[in-house]
Amino acid sequence: MDDCFATRTRWIGIVVLAVVAAILPVGLAADGESPAIPRDTLPLDLARRGAPAGLGRPESRQEVDQATVDRVKLGRRLFFDPILSGDRSLACVSCHDPAHGFSDPRPVSIGINKARGRRNAPSLFNVALGRSFFWDGRVASLEEQVRFPIENPRELGSKLETVVARLEADADYSREFGRLFTDGVTVKNLSRSIADFERTLLLGNSRVDRFRAGDAGALNDAQRQGLWLFESRGRCWHCHSGPNFTDEKFHNTGVGVRRTDRDTGRMAVTRRTGDRGRFKTPTLRGVARTAPYMHDGSVKTLREVVEFYNRGGGRGPQLDPLMKPLELDRAEVGFLVEFLKAVKGEWP
């Protein structure tokens, strides 16, 4: 009798656990664990869309040929596929989630074998406009950029030759690469496909773009006040300039100054001591979607970002000369926050 009761109780417990597991959101994961790989819910026509208003460059993609469209489709599939990671547990999208502006909601990403990353995963919005990539600008093309996360032991933790062998052994991938490239599956063609997909992630036509184009009603009063501050006393435009709201340069704003011995920023690339603590200016397009902020993910909200710069940035040696107190009052800080929200842009 006791054995029957124990067996029945055990089975009830198993059923309850199964039901709970089924109803929990798929994306939830305990702190320090890799999240479930997000599903591809992107629009089907990304490759043929024109550049949204306000971006200027790149040129319209309406006339792209079918070969480019097919490469984008292949790159998109690879972006979501854990075949790129050493243990097939992660994909590019694990740290660049479309639901979070193609960035990571964690301060730093968690890679293979629960390895903790060193920097915040930046958004991929408008990387087609970039001149260098990564927070330290170590590479000059998206094709080069694609290769680093695959082999980084803190990220996907694989080897390029391993990934190529896996793709060659997969009949579907092998056939598709063979159709699109005369030399089939190679590191170059893998990189080109994913880079072509990333170039379709264009975000524009924000309220700010429409206001600057003559639509006076596109911004409310607070957002207009924020735009005025952005372009004047806030001095934001010095670094967040141009159609993509970034000068594509490197600045030391004093973020993480206590940790600069571990992360020297641009200096790790140039070997120049003057570049210690300098990191690339990120785009502001879609910034309301991509918290937390800064290269180390140490700032949680947009208001905290503005307050940081209102104080004159951080402290420490080699601080950028632009880092001086702004002397904005509480209301003005709020106006700048509202302006930053207005650069959100249109995304499906």
Mean per-residue pLDDT, 60-66:
68
Residue 66 lies inside a defined structural domain of this protein:
yes
Residue 38 lies inside a defined structural domain of this protein:
yes
CA distance 30 to 65: 44
Residue 1 lies inside a defined structural domain of this protein:
no
Please report the pLDDT score of residue 35 as a whole number.
59
Domain boundary among 198, 232, 263: 198
Characterize the bridge pairing of strands 279-280 and 250-251.
antiparallel
Residue 253 lies inside a defined structural domain of this protein:
yes
- Same domain, yes or no: 220 and 257: yes
Q: How big is the chain by its Cα radius of gyration, in Å?
A: 23
- Same domain, yes or no: 217 and 127: no
CA distance 125 to 201: 5
Residue 131: pLDDT over 90:
yes
How does pLDDT run across 230-285, given as a tens digit for each residue? 999 999 999 999 999 999 999 999 997 665 458 999 999 999 999 999 999 999 99
- Same domain, yes or no: 193 and 85: yes
- Same domain, yes or no: 186 and 47: yes
- Same domain, yes or no: 214 and 174: no
Please report the pLDDT score of residue 256 as a whole number.
74
- Same domain, yes or no: 128 and 177: yes
- Same domain, yes or no: 279 and 135: no
- Same domain, yes or no: 74 and 176: yes
How does pLDDT run across 272-327, given as a tens digit for each residue? 999 999 999 999 999 999 999 999 999 999 999 999 999 999 988 889 999 999 99
Residue 133 lies inside a defined structural domain of this protein:
yes
Domain boundary among 165, 198, 231: 198
Residue 16: pLDDT over 60:
no
Q: Of the candidates 140, 286, 117, which has an alpha carbon nearest to the alpha carbon of residue 203?
A: 286
Residue 348 lies inside a defined structural domain of this protein:
no
Joined together, the tokens standing for residue 175 give: 């056939």
- Same domain, yes or no: 226 and 328: yes
Q: How many domains does the structure of the chain reveal?
A: 2
Domain boundary among 198, 222, 247: 198
Containing structural domain, residue 114: 25-198
Residue 2 lies inside a defined structural domain of this protein:
no
Joined together, the tokens standing for residue 51 give: 């550049």
HEC profile for the chain? CHHHHHHHHHHHHHHHHHHHHHHCCCCCCCCCCCCCCCCCCCCCCHHHCCCCCCCCCCCCCCCCCHHHHHHHHHHHHHHCCHHHCCCCCCCHHHCCEHHHCCECCCCCCECHHHCECCCCCCCCCCHHHCCCECCCCCECCHHHHHHHHHHCCCCCCCCHHHHHHHHHHCHHHHHHHHHHCCCCCCHHHHHHHHHHHHCCCCCECCHHHHHHCCCHHHCCHHHHHHHHHHCCCCCHHHCCCCCCCCCCCEECCCCCHHHCCCCCECHHHHCCHHHCCEEECCCCCCHHHCCCECCCCCECCHHHHHHHHHCCCCCCCCCCCCCCCCCCCHHHHHHHHHHHHCCCCECC
| Domain CATH number, residue 32 | 1.10.760.10
Q: Is the dihedral of CA 124, 129, 133, 139 positive or negative?
A: positive
Percent above pLDDT 90 for the chain: 80
Average pLDDT along the chain:
89
- Same domain, yes or no: 138 and 237: no
- Where do we find the tokens 């997909």? 197
Q: Which amino acid is at 84?
A: L
- Same domain, yes or no: 79 and 163: yes
- Same domain, yes or no: 267 and 190: no
Residue 9 lies inside a defined structural domain of this protein:
no
Please report the pLDDT score of residue 50 as a whole number.
85
